[in-house]
Amino acid sequence: MQNKKILISGAGVAGLTLAYFLKQNGFEPVIVERAETLRDNGYMIDFFSSGVSVSEKMGISDELAKRDIGSNYIIQHTKKGKQNLKLNMNALRSSLKGKFFNFLRTDLVDILYKKVKNEVEIRFGTNIKTITQSEQGVNITYENGDSEQFDLLIGADGLNSSVRQKIYDDSEVEKKYLGYYVCAFNHNVSLNLKRTDVSSMICPKKQVVSYTTDESSTSLFVFTSSIRNSLTDKEKIEVLKNEFSDFGSPTPEIIDQGSKKEKLFFDQVSQIKIKSSWHKGRVALIGDAAYCITLLSGQGASMAMTGAYVLSEKLKKYPHDHLKAFSEFEKDLKPKVEIMQKKAVKNAATYLPSNSLSLFLRNLFAPVLFTKMFAPLIVRQLGAENYFE
């Protein structure tokens, strides 16, 4: 079998999933990850549709179900802490036949890592410096000076993909900033919240979403902003303090705990659109590196796993023709991704209304939409029909 030795850049959802299926299909994947360990920061994700189907193919769906926080209600408050809305999530779960989970993104990565760590070589603290392609393969030089050759290279290294930056010119990639920033971290502030409930505090252009796990609580801050230059963690906390200065308890206490964190998940909400194709020669991109949909779609992790599975199947189908495999992978997946990206932009206005009237209308209609009759509409609006059905 040609194209057998495959380097994957990135030990996240896409990279770990791809490594599993490549190994199952007889390839020899190796993962390199520039971080020293698995990334331990992030936020709670909605997990359903295609992602659940891939997890079933991997045999990890039961383990994921055990990590399910099981959000039954979203309890919404004003920025001062007055409850003004309570959404029942059970109708949405029912429309998805119970295959709707909420867990930390780090939980998903942890389970994927345990699934492959004894089968696939994973090198942490390893950063690619140069990529040189030839008819024989892809020559990789690392930051430490070592070099080696692989048959193929797959960039699964996220929104700010290093592989993508080395392979594509800036003119070939559109990084579409949607006008929002997010910050998330764990903390021990009491939320007076059931484990199966989610709390939000919202006003136009700003929202804090909080939930509890068995060990701690996690909060996700979302707010509109112009693009900011690179910030230190101290500066990130100052941004949160300024943006949410008029929010009532427990927001100030949560931010104070965040100031004591060594690392924060803090990033802009952007989509990636590659104007040419998701592959060049012997290099291809998957997940956020190729088609970041954003957290506003609720489908980022699911489509990262779906893309990994589809790519592995195409490489299995065309073991001697990587260009054919890459092209069919993109042909199958890109139309669905483009629909999701468009819907994510539209959904952003609902997730974080820009003015008081929009927020009022959102609060007025949300309880109606989250009913048995209209829940399937929400699924369609997210573009979340299952790829495998």
The answer to whether residue 257 is domain-embedded is: no
Question: Per the structure, how many domains does the chain have?
Answer: 1
Per-residue confidence band for 384, with pLDDT thresholds at 50, 70 and 90: low
User: What pLDDT digit, counting tens, does each position of 309-349 carry?
Assistant: 999 999 999 999 999 999 999 999 999 999 889 888 888 88
Does residue 109 fall inside a structural domain? yes
164-173 LR contacts (CB < 8 Å, sep 24+): 164/272, 164/274, 164/285, 164/289, 164/290, 166/128, 166/130, 166/131, 167/131, 167/280, 167/283, 168/274, 168/276, 168/280, 171/275, 172/274, 172/275, 172/276, 173/272, 173/273, 173/274, 173/275
What domain range includes position 75? 5-175+270-381
Is residue 216's pLDDT more than 90?
no
The answer to whether residue 244 is domain-embedded is no
Name the H helices within 125-170.
162-167
| 172: DSSP letter | G
264 is a domain residue = no
Look at residue 215 and tell me if it is in a domain.
no
Q: What is the CATH number of the domain that holds 296?
A: 3.50.50.60
Domain presence at residue 243: no
pLDDT at residue 382, rounded to an integer: 65
With respect to residue 210, please indicate whether it lies within any of the assigned structural domains.
no
List, for residues 339-381, the tens digit of each pLDDT value: 889 888 888 888 899 999 999 999 998 888 888 887 777 777 7
Give the global pTM: 0.92
Residue 336 domain flag: yes
Span 224-250, average pLDDT: 94
